[in-house]
Amino acid sequence: MNWKMSRVVRTVTDIMVVPIIVYGIYLIIHGHLTPGGGFQGGAVIASSTALLIVSYGSFRDYKKDFSSMESLGLTLFILLAIFGILLGATMFHNFGAGTGGLFGGTVPEGINPGYVNTGGTIPMMNIMVGLEVAAALSLILWMMAKASDSMEVEA
């Protein structure tokens, strides 16, 4: 069945999808400073998929891509957790904090506005969780839309 919505709905969707995704990425990357984190940002990104599927009524065959993205996020998360054991510490050991590398800046003492380039492995794990949640919820939406025959799968 063709569930394509009107031109007004599709134009508003086209305008709104990119800000929603950017807001989700902002929530994920600033997860260690502000409210939000991997799960919230991933859910916000997946809501853009819901908007696209509902308004257009068709979506490409991204099932395997979503599944691979979900597995990649979870695998990298677990590897990042186990990497702490390999360095001689416990699981989930924060080996990146204060080393000067990626997300390795030192936090100055006292009240500060919050710096993104700090936190060690916590922002990295937020990014992995965001990848996993966004792909998993998008996959659930894709499967539900396909099973209820409210979406045409493009080639």
Contacts with other proteins by CB under 8 A lie at 1, 3, 27, 35-37, 39-40, 43-44, 46-47, 50-51, 53-54, 137, 140-141, 144-145, 147-150
Task: Return the number of the residue (85 or 143) whose C-beta is nearest other proteins.
Answer: 143
Q: Give, as one character, the DSSP assignment of residue 118.
A: B
Q: How far apart are CA 116 and CA 29, in angstroms?
A: 8
Q: How far is the CB of 137 from other proteins (least distance, A)?
A: 6
Pairing of the two strands 152-154 and 58-60: parallel
Q: How far is the CB of 83 from other proteins (least distance, A)?
A: 27
Q: How far is the CB of 52 from other proteins (least distance, A)?
A: 10
How buried is 64 (Cβ within 10 angstroms: 0-12 exposed, 13-18 middle, 19+ buried)?
exposed
